[in-house]
A and B are shown apart, each in its own frame.
Chain A
Amino acid sequence: MANTDEPAAFAVRATTADIKPQRIAFAAMALFFMLAPLAIYPVFLMKVMCFALFACAFNLLIGFGGLLSFGHAMFLGTAGYVCAHAAKVWGVSPELAILSGTGAAALLGVLTGLLAIRRQGIYFAMITLALAQMIYFFCVQAPFTGGEDGIQAVPRGRLFGVIDLAGMTAMYIVVVAVFFGGFLLVYRIIHSPFGHVLKAIREHEPRSISLGYDADRYKLLAFVLSATLSGLAGATKALVFQLASLTDVHWTTSGEVILMTLLGGLGTVFGPVVGALIIVGMENYLAQLGAWVTVVQGAIFVVCVLAFRRGIIGELGRFLKKSL
């Protein structure tokens, strides 16, 4: 099925020589998100971090597992709804609200993952898209999601019952903590023995099976991990914007996360973050252009696929001969 001509577009060979540039890149990223709120609107940065985590989670699946999910919005959106519902209707504290949203996404990941991994390649993409569309219609009709209005005016509450998140600074620090926690977790997964087996399955599934690895279990675990982290991003996003809406479950959001990852670089460590920054930034600053945003997004897809398959960070890494 996957007759890849250029595995280099995906490959991440983490050797000790790569650790230093990756540390430098990580420090630069940390510095950026700590200093940027002085110059850039913090809500925008928080949105970038939520989508960056979402894209990192998505990249875990496609960049390292080789599985193209076309329905990742279902995890982002479902977690957002559950988190918003928990915070607003049940009145739980924000950390529990985020936890319940993330848990819901994990559960959904198990259910949809069990179905989707039964087929490979192109079918996997179509199945995840169809399942996400089912979740979308469920969210349109279910009473607790508020239909077209979504769940609005979600209280941010007090973290651990003490820290009031209504202020910008406290919320920003929470989002930074969530994002960097998630990012480091993805980094750890990629470089763990589990991550290496996942890459082996992506490269040659029958051979990995013959070596004794239960490919389906690895794929399912990767899918659930990716779903869970996407849920974490979605739940956090719901608290930041105090809103859970249908946009987050719609297939356009699934397309956006693919675009972010592709533009930044499939299978790179920092690519999804760069991609999220660019795409969210573009949507913010080009918002008044209406449907032209869709046209530009489509054009980026076409250009990336035809001429720029390694993405920004992938090309940069190739230029520097480092894996980033």
Chain B
Amino acid sequence: MDTLFGVPTQALFGQLLIGLINGSFYALLSLGLAVIFGLLSIINFTHGAQYMMGAFCAHFLLTKLGIGYWWALALAPVAVAITGMIIERLMLSRLYKLDYLYGLLLTFGLALIIQGLFRNEFGSSGLPYPIPTELQGAQNLGFMFLPNYRAWVIVVSLVVCLGTWFVIEKTKLGSYLRAATENPALVQAFGINVPRMITLTYGFGVTLAAFAGVMAAPIYQVNPLMGADLIIVVFAVVVIGGMGSIMGSIVTGFGLGVIEGLTKVFYPEASNTVIFIIMAVVLMFKPTGLFGQR
């Protein structure tokens, strides 16, 4: 069994794996966007830059302080989230009563600033980040080799995504969050500090982005522009899935990653554009997105 559908199985499963990896990042990032949008009604254009900051933070910890991958996985997202919460307090919080477009423009401007500063400091070429020793090597599954690190990324992303879903949909904390999304004034009246909740929610969305960045560092090179084009694809993922449901973001993220990977096998010319084409088709037949209500 060397070929499947006229394609070498090695290539097919290889691309399927890459698709799942990309899908993990789509899912983590679109999940963060959806969580932030739910409470803040702002599309966080800085998300791609914050993903990049996560990767750079891991790189900084390793090269300057000698702190390895495992600690970076915990420290970098927290550090980036703190900068995010400062931004929310100082800037975004002034915009909640204004037209939605100002939030988008502000976060776009912030993304330009952050990417520009990193580009000045580190140039446009990528910096390498080693795979942690515990996760080097690969498993021979018979039909393909599965690098340990890639398996790790897929499993951890799934766990984080499902954990987020569980917290938001099934716990008391999540019910506060969902209630504040529906009617912030009423929730405030019940004695819950909604502004602080908004700050923490933004921080959590940013944490997801930076976490994805740290996980991406050993796979892709650490590059100031690594999030710039990715965020546009994630926007398309969000339009396809609709931001109404947490599970929808997760399923759409992974699903589109796989479809993109398969396109690379069967029709490589369209692999860059397939997600946008799917978006156009979804808009034609179900404008609210696959899982969207509004």
Contact = CB atoms under 8 A, between A and B. Distances in A.
Chains A and B bind each other? yes
Contacts of A3: 97, 99
Given A126-B239, A131-B280, A298 B116 contact: yes
Most chain-A Cβ atoms within 10 A of its Cβ — which of B105, B111, B279?
Answer: B105
A258 B112 CA distance: 13
A121 interface: yes
B120 A295 contact: yes
Given A130-B236, A251-B232, A298 B105 contact: no
A306 B277 contact: no
Contacts of B99: 2-5
Given A123-B239, A298-B110, A118 B287 contact: yes
Interface string B55-95: 00000000000000000000000000000000000010011
Contact of B112 (A62, A298, A305): A298
A22 B102 CA distance: 27
Given A2-B99, A118-B283, A302-B109, A141 B269 contact: yes
B165 interface: no
Chain B at the A interface: SS class: helix
Interface in A110-160: 115, 118-119, 121-123, 125-127, 129-131, 133-134, 137-138, 140-141
B13 interface: no
Nearest to B105: A305
A251 B230 CA distance: 12
B105 A258 contact: yes
B43 A301 contact: no
Interface stretch (A167-175, A235-243, A286-294): A286-294
B276 A130 contact: yes
Contacts of B37: 122
Nearest to B98: A5
Given A301-B112, A302-B91, A302-B109, A291 B100 contact: no
Contacts of B108: 255, 258, 298, 301
B80 to A, nearest CB: 18
A68 B283 CA distance: 18
A262 interface: yes
B168 interface: no
A122 B94 contact: no
Chain A at the B interface: SS class: helix
A167 to B, nearest CB: 38
B189 interface: no
B98 A4 contact: yes
Nearest to B287: A118
B100 A306 contact: no
A73 B86 CA distance: 32
B207 interface: no
Nearest to B123: A291
A299 interface: yes
B10 interface: no
B116 A292 contact: yes
B109 A5 contact: no
B43 A125 contact: yes
Contacts of B233: 130, 133
A129 B272 CA distance: 15
Given A119-B239, A295-B116, A126 B106 contact: no
A302 B106 contact: yes
Nearest to A112: B280
21 contacts: A3-B97, A5-B97, A115-B284, A122-B41, A122-B101, A125-B104, A129-B235, A130-B235, A133-B276, A251-B232, A290-B120, A291-B117, A291-B120, A293-B116, A294-B113, A297-B109, A297-B116, A298-B108, A298-B110, A298-B113, A301-B112
Given A2-B100, A298-B108, A306-B106, 8 more contacts: A5-B97, A118-B283, A126-B238, A130-B235, A133-B236, A291-B120, A297-B116, A298-B110
Closest A-B pairs by Cβ, 3 of them: A301-B109, A298-B112, A294-B116
Interface of A: 1-6, 62, 68, 70, 115, 118-119, 121-123, 125-127, 129-131, 133-134, 137-138, 140-141, 251, 255, 258, 262, 290-295, 297-302, 304-306, 309
